[in-house]
């Protein structure tokens, strides 16, 4: 079990877990640093998401202060704490897609209770909402139709499996497609499913 016990903000944790699995890195102490750190890279196009990442870190680790490190076109939101690997036991050597990523029972329980927060974290890190459009002639008049879709791309089949199992749990329909890069792309395009995603996640901001 994690070490903050009942104090853990479970909704914020579920979101941060999605962010971590999507695009987070934990660094362990070495000869130069004494403390573990969690780093989530946020694109400067979406300042609202950077704020929301930082806020989730504050809620999950109320004893530690996140900070931002500016890089070209993005910021790393960083948090130092020696309780990172107990909160995110998925940490391990090598890349996430080269090892098994499975949730601990206590994590699965939190995701089951807060599935939308988990999905939002995954979409905010490795996903997006895109609007495609087309025109069609209706009664001699050219009309524009928009098709919003959600996409999530990841190279780890385990993380794809966690994402799609959670979509199933909330009743969102999805399709998978293999990318030439070896990644899997999940798309949500059905109107009712997109509406459900919009009600809980929405476009990046």
Segment interacting with Zn ion (CB under 5 A) among 50-58, 76-84, 89-97, 127-135: 76-84
Choice between 3 and 169, CB closer to Zn ion: 3
The yes or no reply on residue 99 touching Zn ion (CB under 5 A) is no
Per CB under 5 A, 86 contacts Zn ion: yes
CA-nearest of 75, 5, 65, 62 to 37 is 65
Q: Which of 39-47, 77-85, 119-127, 166-174 is the region at the interface with Zn ion (rule: CB under 5 A)?
A: 77-85
Q: Exposure of 58 by Cβ count < 10 A (0-12 exposed, 13-18 middle, 19+ buried)?
A: middle
Do 159 and 52 meet the contact criterion of CB atoms below 8 Å apart?
no
Q: Least distance (Å) from Zn ion to the CB of residue 86?
A: 3
The values of phi and psi at residue 166, to 5°, are -75, -35
Virtual torsion, Cα 188, 178, 49, 104, nearest 10 deg: 90
Strand partners, 150: 129, 188
Stretch that binds Zn ion, among 18-26, 83-91, 119-127, 128-136 (CB under 5 A): 83-91
Could you say whether residue 3 binds Zn ion (CB under 5 A)? yes
Residue from 25, 83, 129, 149 binding Zn ion (CB under 5 A): 83
Choose among 62, 44, 89: nearest CA to 7. 62
Q: Which is nearer to Zn ion, 3 or 113 (CB)?
A: 3
Which residues of this protein are in contact with Zn ion, per CB under 5 A?
Answer: 3, 83, 86
């Amino acid at each position: 079990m994690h070490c903050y016990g009942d104090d853990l903000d479970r909704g914020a944790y579920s979101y941060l877990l999605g962010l971590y699995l999507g695009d987070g890195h934990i660094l362990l102490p070495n000869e130069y640093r004494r403390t573990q750190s969690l780093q989530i890279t946020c694109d400067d196009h979406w300042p609202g998401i950077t704020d929301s990442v930082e806020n989730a870190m504050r809620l999950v680790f109320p004893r530690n202060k996140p900070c931002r490190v500016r890089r070209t076109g993005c910021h790393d939101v960083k948090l130092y704490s020696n309780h990172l690997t107990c909160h995110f036991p998925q940490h391990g050597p090598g890349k996430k897609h080269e090892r098994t990523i499975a949730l601990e029972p206590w994590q699965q329980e939190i995701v089951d209770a807060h599935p939308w927060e988990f999905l939002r974290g995954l979409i905010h890190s490795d996903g997006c909402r895109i609007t495609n459009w087309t025109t069609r002639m209706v009664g001699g008049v050219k009309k524009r139709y928009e098709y919003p879709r959600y996409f999530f791309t990841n190279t780890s089949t385990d993380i794809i499996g966690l994402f799609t199992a959670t979509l199933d749990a909330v009743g969102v329909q999805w399709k998978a497609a293999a990318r030439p890069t070896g990644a899997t792309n999940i798309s949500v395009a059905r109107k009712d499913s997109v509406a459900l995603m919009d009600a809980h996640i929405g476009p990046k901001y």
